[in-house]
Structure 1
Amino acid sequence: MSAAISPMLVRLASERATGALLRDAGTLYLVDGRVVHAESPASPGVDVLLTATGRLPADGWQEALDRAGARRQVGRFLVDSGRLSDGELEICHLGALFDAAFFVLAPASGPTRFRYGAVHWLGPVRPVTADAVERETRRRRKLLEDLWPSPEVDRAPVVRRQAVRSPPVTPRQRAVLELADGVRTPAAISRLLGRPAFHTLIDVRRLAAAGHIATPRAPDPTGPSPAPARVPDVCADPDIALLRRLRDALEAHL
């Protein structure tokens, strides 16, 4: 059995604790030991995912905050007001939760502390178990490592290379390349595109492996360059793969 990514999270889940697990890279919110929300500076929140894509106007989000934020019922307000369906909110919320949790639980995220009783302003949507969060985080780490084992490219500004004889790019990869200006990090690109940060990391690592994006630190000339492993076709579009897993998670709780 694999060691827990966060022993404190496992302990809090067993205690059915309610509050906020805080680390340098973000926060996980728990209610009765289950994860109900996650947020990280490295990951676009529910607001960005909804407004940057045009699904929800910015003034509609602000209205929800103004009218329901103090009651910690923003999610419920969006549904009751007809701005989102229950399914739309749940899928967006789960996507943002797993995305942020990936960064919160990163190995270099610093010390962990817990603030008992803290509650997030979004309100309850779809809780998930701590086991599910750890399992998905572990799966994502392996996927990125298999694609291109150079994690430095995840955090540093990325720059486009004039690749010669490199494979063609997909439309979603082209959108990332157009924003790779040597100043923007993958997190900044994610916010501009209104996409989960992990999806952008997949595109960035694939582009780096194909020679379209420069990695922040050049490989040791005396050693072999990292060789990306073959990834099953089911992961070719992270949006489709994520939606399938979110669908399965929703059905498992019905």
Structure 2
Amino acid sequence: MTPVRTPHDTVSAALAALADGRATGALSGERGVVHLAEGRVVHVESALTPDLGSLLVHSGALTPENWWDAVGRAGAHQRVGRRLVDSGRLAPGALQLCHLGTLFDAAYFVLAHDGPVRRFRPGAVHWLGPVRPVPADAVVRESRRRRALLDRIWPDPAVDTAPLARTADADTGPLPARRGRILAQVDGVRTAADIAAALACRTYHTLVEVRRLAAGGLIVPAPRPAAPAAPVPGRPGAAWDDPDTALLRRLKDALEAL
């Protein structure tokens, strides 16, 4: 399949045009990929957020074996979601709720700050399969609403993606339970996405508390190392895999873990 470059400058502008044309395919930007089916958004992926499988496994909804069995048996047919439901391992409502959460979390990074289009792959179908398609304009609108809310809490978006470090005041005074759990994960290495994955939390909810911690002077972006290490494939924050290699990467990681 030959990649097609769109004439639009930003991902959100390209998404609007593709939605109007009822396009099916994968629209890639700098921070992730938006998957479309007949002009509606069916999935969004970003290396800056935990993926659906990570959240389902870390939350205890599925075992790693459950997840990888579904990926192995149904991924090539783009029916992983259907397989999870038909096997009785996940209720349809639970799948929809978790899927929408990961979709909007990833869309925040891809669309709220927008950015240039890399390419559009017409006809590309995501291996998860359809769960609950969402109108493209609703996804863009919600992404911008989230950005506005986060910016009102703390206007510097660097804490959304950078490794986080505590300040000298981080251990003074009690905090609300969720904020305290997040602060306990801050070690100078983990990003907000790493913390969300470790706690099986929605990324956006984690970002809200991270911004509040930054506004309170309790955390800051960690200093960058002099020689950054190469990104680790498959880990939140790693270099983005194009959608045609994402499934193979996950299968490879699973096999190596056996």
TM-score by length of 1: 0.79
**CA distances 1:3-57 after superposition (whole Å, capped 9, x unpaired):** x971110000000000000112110100000000010000111101100111111
Say if 2:166 is the partner of 1:160: yes
**C-alpha separation in 2, matches of 1:78 and 1:213:** 39
Whole-angstrom distance in 2 between the partners of 1:116 and 1:165: 51
Aligned pair count?
A: 214
Q: Please state if 1:100 is matched with 2:106.
A: yes
Judge which range, 139-148 or 175-184, deviates more.
175-184
Partner of residue 74 from structure 1, selected from 72, 76, 80: 80
Identical counterparts, % of pairs: 52
Q: Secondary structure at the match of 1:69?
A: helix
SS of residue paired to 1:6:
helix
Amino acid of the structure 2 residue aligned with 1:69: G
For 1:113 and 1:167, how far apart are their aligned partners in 2? 49
**Aligned with 2:126 (options 110, 115, 120):** 120
The one-character-per-residue Cα deviations of 1:210-235 (angstroms, maximum 9, x if unpaired) are 22213559xxxxxxxxxxxxxxxxxx
State whether structure 2 residue 152 is matched by structure 1 residue 146. yes
Determine if contact 2:189/2:222 at 8 Å carries over to the other structure.
no
The answer to whether 1:185 aligns with 2:223 is no
Once the two structures are superposed, what CA deviation does each residue of 1:51-77 show, in whole Å capped at 9, x if it has no partner?
Answer: 011111110001101111111100001
CA contact (8 A) 1:42 1:197 kept: no
Shift of 1:153: 1.6
Query: How far apart in 2 are the matches of 1:191 and 1:162?
Result: 26
CA distance in 2, matches of 1:15, 1:197: 31
1:19/1:119 contact within 8 Å kept:
yes
Pick aligned residue for 1:14 from 5, 9, 20: 20
Cα pair 1:152 1:216 within 8 Å, conserved: no
The alpha carbon displacement at 1:155 in A equals 1.8
Q: Is the 8 A contact 1:103 1:109 kept in 2?
A: no
Residue equivalent to 1:250: none
Q: Give the alignment of 1:60-71 within 5 angstroms.
A: 60-71=66-77
Cα distance in structure 2, aligned partners of 1:40 and 1:19: 16
Q: Name the counterpart of 2:181.
A: 175
* Distance of 1:63 and 1:106 partners within structure 2: 34
SS in 1 for 2:33: strand
CA-to-aligned-CA distance 1:114-153 (integer Å, 9 cap, x gap): 1100000000110000111011001000011000111122
Residue 4 of structure 2 corresponds to which residue in structure 1? none
Q: What do you get for the CA RMSD once the two structures are aligned?
A: 1.9
Change (3 A) 1:5 1:62: closer
The range that moved more, 25-34 or 193-202, is: 193-202
Structure 2 counterpart of 1:251:
none
> Matched residues in 2 for 1:162 and 1:128: separation?
44
Residue 7 of structure 2: aligned partner: none
